[in-house]
Amino acid sequence: MAEVKNAFIASKMNKDLDARLVPSGEYRNAINAQISRSEGADVGALENVLGNQLKVDFSLLVSLPSGTLKTIGTYVDEINNFIYVFLTNHTGSTYSTTAKNYIFRYDVLSGTSVKLVEGAFLNFSTQNKIYGINVLEDFLFFTDNRNQPRKINTVIAAGYGNPYDSEDTISVAKINPYQPIQLYQKITSSIASEFTAPSTDQAINSYQTTMQNVSDEKLPDGTSNNPYYDSNFVGDTELLDDKFIRFSYRFKFKDGEYSLLAPFTQVAFIPKQDGYFLYDASDNINDMNDALQSTVVQFMENKVDKIQLIIPMPLTKLVLL
């Protein structure tokens, strides 16, 4: 029997007529075909699409039997010729500590694959496809309506020493410091030995402020030695004289982002003479009388010139990304 071939110049699908009645140039069905979106003269033309070819079996890349992992999301980065693939073998609806979850990046030009993230903490499931995927510069954002929005830095993930190993490291809502800087410390034997004449309130295991005056050799009474005096202090002794200063901090992550600010500290201010009006008739000192006549309290300036900032970390080991 003779073979009939048609050239579908009209590029028109006709589902209304019987297959025997479809005019030449039209067709009833098409497989591996697409409509051209080019800006040339062939825009809108029906074109053949090349068939699929298996390029990589990700299951074999992670030493699993072929076909073990199922694809639950893909994203094509046309600018960089990358394909991001999200895979899992978990089919349940609850969290599984034994699930095999992966994020791979496939390089279309070189045909190589890079494992970006792996671990049960990804909490993927074949029941929750990943449709919300975006790439912004070096960041890959994704969400599956199962977990909170997440992101990774693809440059860091593809490099050595991949830090993405827990939910905290991939969550869009990064960890932030929630405790203020401490301006006090617990007295230990090593700390007490730093001072030449520790007072009775510097007993071991008690607490003291880290705001110190280290530039004055004597205490405000002029007779007692200042236990914090440091003859080798090279800082600016007048920097904080007229300032009511507070401190805070934030985390800087490896990808260049910053966390939210922590709460601020108390005002780092201790008045000179510790707030006391001094009186010494022999030296003609009468602070109260001077203040009464001039309406100015001369010693109401900050005597603090050295501050040790003790930053409490939320974890004993914190990896900043």
Q: Could you give the 3-state DSSP secondary structure of residue 70?
A: strand
Distance CA 171, CA 117 (A): 13
Judge whether 268 lies within some domain: yes
The two beta strands, 70-77 and 82-88, are antiparallel
Residues 23, 160, single domain; the answer is: no
Q: Which of 113, 143, 170 is the last residue of a domain?
A: 170
Distance CA 293, CA 45 (A): 97
The pLDDT tens digits for 14-43 are 778 887 787 877 777 777 777 666 666 666
Q: Domain limits at 202?
A: 175-321
Residues 207, 274, single domain; the answer is: yes
Work out how many domains the chain is built from and give that number.
3
CB burial class (10 A; 0-12, 13-18, 19+) of residue 90? Answer: buried
Judge whether 1 lies within some domain: no
The answer to whether 90 and 104 have CB atoms below 8 angstroms apart is no
Judge whether 88 lies within some domain: yes
Residues 162, 179, single domain; the answer is: no
Judge whether 287 lies within some domain: yes
Distance CA 106, CA 114 (A): 6
Q: Which of 139, 170, 201 is the last residue of a domain?
A: 170
Task: Name the amino acid, one letter, at 264.
Answer: F
Residues 147, 261, single domain; the answer is: no
Which pLDDT value is given to residue 253? 81
Residues 27, 146, single domain; the answer is: no
Residues 319, 190, single domain; the answer is: yes
pLDDT (mean) for 213-234: 84
- Over pLDDT 70: what percentage of the chain? 80
Q: Model pTM?
A: 0.62
Judge whether 53 lies within some domain: no
Judge whether 300 lies within some domain: yes
pLDDT at 5 > cutoff 70 = no
Residues 18, 137, single domain; the answer is: no
Judge whether 270 lies within some domain: yes
What average pLDDT does the structure give for the chain?
A: 82
Q: Which of 170, 195, 218 is the last residue of a domain?
A: 170
Judge whether 7 lies within some domain: no
> What's the token pair of residue 105?
């990046």
Residues 213, 314, single domain; the answer is: yes
Residues 98, 232, single domain; the answer is: no
DSSP state of 39: S
Residues 289, 306, single domain; the answer is: yes
Distance CA 133, CA 149 (A): 10
The pLDDT tens digits for 148-199 are 999 999 999 998 777 888 898 899 888 888 889 999 888 776 665 555 444 4
Residues 300, 185, single domain; the answer is: yes
Residues 164, 72, single domain; the answer is: yes
